[in-house]
Amino acid sequence: TTESYTRAQYCRWPCECPRSPPRCAVGVSLVTDGCACCKTCAKQRGESCTEADTCDFHRGLYCDYSGDRPRYEIGVCAQIVGVGCVLNGVRYKNGETFQPNCKYNCTCINGAVGCVPMCTNSRPPLVWCPNPKLIKIAGKCCEQWICDDSRKIRKTSPRHISSAAYEGEDEAWQKNCIVHTSPWSPCSKTCGLGISTRISNDNEQCRLLKESRLCNMRPCEVDITQHIKPGKKCLAVYRADEPMNFTISGCVSKSPYRPKYCGVCKDNRCCTPYKSKTIEVRFQCPDGTEFSWKIMWINACFCNLNCRNPNDIFADLAHYHDYSEIAN
Domain ranges of the chain: 9-80, 85-117, 121-149, 192-304
Fold of 9-80: Omega-AgatoxinV (4.10.40)
* Same fold for the pair 85-117 and 192-304: no
Average the pLDDT over 159-163 and give the result: 39
Domain 85-117, classified CATH 2.10.70, yes or no? yes
Cis-peptide, bond into residue 259, ω within 30° of zero: no
Do 324 and 306 contact (CB within 8 A), yes or no?
A: no
Cβ neighbours, 10 Å, residue 279: 13
Residues, the chain, total? 328
Do 253 and 246 contact (CB within 8 A), yes or no?
A: yes
pLDDT score for 268: 81
Do 226 and 219 contact (CB within 8 A), yes or no?
A: no
Do 94 and 109 contact (CB within 8 A), yes or no?
A: yes
Residue with the bigger pLDDT between 174 and 91: it is 91
What is the SS3 assignment for 144? strand
> Of 3.30.450, 2.60.40, 3.40.50, 2.10.90, which CATH number belongs to 192-304?
2.10.90
Query: What CA–CA distance (Å, rounded) separates 253 from 214?
Result: 13
Query: What CA–CA distance (Å, rounded) separates 224 from 219?
Result: 9
Among the listed ranges 103-112, 262-271, 288-297, which one has the minimum average pLDDT value? 103-112
Residue with the bigger pLDDT between 108 and 151: it is 108
List strands edge to edge, sheet with 97-101: 97-101, 104-109, 112-117
Backbone φ, ψ for residue 88 (5° rounding): 55, 40
Do 261 and 244 contact (CB within 8 A), yes or no?
A: no
Query: What CA–CA distance (Å, rounded) separates 230 from 226?
Result: 10
197, β-bridge pairs: 212
Query: What CA–CA distance (Å, rounded) separates 278 from 275?
Result: 11
Average the pLDDT over 41-61 and give the result: 90
Average the pLDDT over 164-181 and give the result: 54
132-135/144-147 β-pairing: antiparallel
Per residue in 96-142, pLDDT tens?
A: 888 888 888 888 877 778 888 877 666 665 555 666 777 887 888 88
State the maximum Cα–Cα separation within the chain, in Å, rounded to a whole number: 107
Whole-structure pTM value: 0.46
Per residue in 173-229, pLDDT tens?
A: 555 677 778 888 888 888 888 999 888 888 887 888 888 999 999 999 889 888 888
As a whole number of Å, the end-to-end CA separation of the chain is 74
Query: What CA–CA distance (Å, rounded) separates 287 from 135?
Result: 60
Q: Per-residue confidence at 316, pLDDT binned at 50, 70, 90?
A: very low
Average pLDDT, the chain: 79
